[in-house]
Amino acid sequence: MSEVAVVQGVSDYLALWSASGAGTYKVRAGMLGNGRGSTVVSDECFFRATTQIYEGGIVGSVSGSGAALSSGAGAGNHPGVVVLSTGTTATGSASLYGSGSPSSVLAGGGAIRFGAVVKLDALSTPSQTFAARLGLGDSAASDGTDGIFFRYTDAANGGRWLGVARSNNVESTVDTGVAADTNFHTFELAIDAGGTSVQFLVDGIAVGAPITTNIPAAAGRETGLRPAALAKTVGLTARTLRVDAYWYQFEFTTVR
């Protein structure tokens, strides 16, 4: 007779032995999700053309002269890199975005975890201003109506990354205390199962207090995957964002 173990994808871990590390490590069980109790998306960003589908139904979206997605050189532990370029117009943009299903995710049905490893090649300045957004959103190139995401521009919050929860065009923000730079970093957000709280993390460390208001969890406030987006507002010099990987886990409260 066999026994069935119930393992939660986001909150539970599996112990795995690493021969190379000569030790036991924990791995979030959701990375091995079966589709009934959770959904898992993970993409290492080996390049595809702008119009082709990335992991999780994500496609590239560009606007403006010269705006593009292209293959970037891998380095160290960043083997697959997609480069988002705004092009040479003052309102150019580029993003990885769920354009076929921009309103497919509703918080409150279970624990959600999103993460992305990205690198800015240059910072936003008054003469070359852009905004970067990472997370969940229903617009490719703007804040949109609903979303939960990181946002950066030099003109706000002293050039530090903000955590944003946005519902029906009303938002709550938290100062992560993390100043933008031009190195690779891991940006994650963790939404609780009830859709009542979201914690932002940078490089595995919780930053800022959890946001508990304006989380898009009510009916009609659906959002979608927007792993990375870059949009210019001032200046004609192209700005770029490198995406090394992104992932998304949704652990359902009620198994489907």
Chain segment 138-191, per-residue pLDDT in tens: 998 899 999 999 999 999 999 999 999 999 999 999 999 999 999 999 999 999
> Is a pLDDT exceeding 90 seen at residue 87?
yes
Amino acid at residue number 124:
S
Query: How confident is the model over 110-123, as a mean pLDDT?
Result: 96
Query: How confident is the model over 187-211, as a mean pLDDT?
Result: 97
**Number of other residues whose CB lies within 10 A of the CB of residue 241:** 25
Which residues on adjacent β-strands are paired with residue 30?
none
Which residues on adjacent β-strands are paired with residue 115?
188, 247
The torsion defined by the Cα of 69, 74, 75 and 79, in degrees rounded to 10, comes to 110
Question: Does residue 133 form part of some domain?
Answer: yes
Which residues on adjacent β-strands are paired with residue 131?
231
Of 56-60, 92-96, 223-227, 246-250, the one with minimum mean pLDDT is 56-60
Question: Does residue 25 form part of some domain?
Answer: no
> What per-residue confidence (pLDDT) applies to 73?
83
Q: Domain containing 129 — which CATH number?
A: 2.60.120.200
- Residue identified by tokens 């380095």 is 75
Question: Dmax over Cα atoms in the chain, in whole Å?
Answer: 69
Closest by Cα among 123, 145, 245 to 188: 245
Of 70-79, 180-189, 233-242, the one with minimum mean pLDDT is 70-79
Question: Does residue 21 form part of some domain?
Answer: no
> What per-residue confidence (pLDDT) applies to 77?
87
* Containing structural domain, residue 187: 38-252
> Is a pLDDT exceeding 80 seen at residue 213?
yes
> Is a pLDDT exceeding 80 seen at residue 198?
yes
* CB 189, CB 149: distance < 8 Å: yes
- Calculate Rg over the CA atoms of the chain: 18
Question: Does residue 16 form part of some domain?
Answer: no
Of 20-24, 90-94, 240-244, the one with minimum mean pLDDT is 20-24
Average model confidence (pLDDT) for the chain?
88
> What per-residue confidence (pLDDT) applies to 205?
95
CB-based contacts of 40, cutoff 8 Å, min separation 6? 9, 30, 31, 32, 33, 247, 248, 249, 250
> Is a pLDDT exceeding 70 seen at residue 101?
no
Question: Does residue 79 form part of some domain?
Answer: yes
Query: How confident is the model over 107-112, as a mean pLDDT?
Result: 94
Question: Does residue 27 form part of some domain?
Answer: no
Rounded Cα gap, residues 99 and 57, in angstroms = 8
- Residue identified by tokens 């891991």 is 186
Q: How many domains does the chain have?
A: 1
* CB 24, CB 17: distance < 8 Å: yes
> What per-residue confidence (pLDDT) applies to 22?
72
pTM of the model: 0.87
> What per-residue confidence (pLDDT) applies to 1?
42
Rounded Cα gap, residues 220 and 87, in angstroms = 34
> What per-residue confidence (pLDDT) applies to 3?
53
Amino acid at residue number 157:
N
* CB 239, CB 130: distance < 8 Å: yes
Question: Does residue 22 form part of some domain?
Answer: no
Question: Does residue 5 form part of some domain?
Answer: no
